[in-house]
Structure 1
């Protein structure tokens, strides 16, 4: 079974821009349903990013996501080592600040990619980041995904792949 690993922007952009909690209740019901079924998961680093604002989105996550939704990222340290080595090897392209931010232990991106890489046949990374290989100030999720063969897509692509409407 395919598992979709969601980035924090899956929640944040939906909440702030596209599907506000108080308007698009069917979207959030579907997210809860997918989480309860284990179709979507995330990691502890994303939880930390979501649970730092004490806002309605954090409340929704606390009250609607099942226990175990946020997976322990320490289980993918081997894969994280590969992602880290790749990022460091790109020091002729990316600015030191970009590499440091990407590899910061509190940042989710490298760990999300590592989590998907750990079961590359069954895990798909869901993010709203788009490829910008020419960019030097930030390592975008699609760049290492492309290098390591990790499948990624945005929320709407995921819903289409799952045949979901709401």
Structure 2
């Protein structure tokens, strides 16, 4: 299984769960599993992270080599599928316009093009004002899960070693 990570996976990991300063194993796990072809994200997510100008953006510059996949013709070919589904729903025009301009739209198209599972902290919601990634995944029969489900499925282990 190959996973495609939403920006909130990186941002919440840094801010809430796996700080770069106290849980480097999480970040090493991402790099190692990217090298193994299991974990990736997209250039638009990389752009969001780079805009932060913080320790996460520094990490992404130093370790994100190839992690943030560029949009290519196979991805662009899925834009119509995503936008057609979005516009056929009961979302407000402002929600549709916003979604079609942000990384989430590209993330879904990348996952469709490459048969990847979307990983996000977002949960489905019945709202006409905001389009959530899980709702689109459900509508397009695209697998999605939380970062914790991914880590458990991949049997990630962040075990403390002996202190020096």
| 1:70 paired residue number | 68
User: Deviations along 1:36-70, whole A, 9 cap, x unmatched?
Assistant: 222101111111111102110000111122x2221
CA distance in 2, matches of 1:153, 1:70: 19
For residue 83 of structure 1, report the CA deviation from its aligned partner: 0.5
User: Deviations along 1:59-91, whole A, 9 cap, x unmatched?
Assistant: 0111122x222111233112111101111122x
The counterpart of 2:113, out of the listed 118, 133, 137, is 118
The counterpart of 2:127, out of the listed 115, 125, 135, is 135
Q: Secondary structure at the match of 2:41?
A: strand
Q: Secondary structure at the match of 2:79?
A: helix
| 1:38 paired residue number | 37
- Alignment size in residue pairs: 157
CA distance in 1, matches of 2:31, 2:119: 16
CA distance in 2, matches of 1:32, 1:74: 22
> Is the contact made by 2:85 and 2:140 (CA closer than 8 Å) also made in structure 1?
no
| 1:153 paired residue number | 145
CA distance in 1, matches of 2:136, 2:28: 32
Instruction: Give the gaps of 5 or more residues in structure 2.
Output: 159-164
TM-score, structure 1 as length reference? 0.89
CA distance in 1, matches of 2:11, 2:112: 24
TM-score, structure 2 as length reference? 0.90
| 1:84 paired residue number | 83
Q: Secondary structure at the match of 1:118?
A: helix
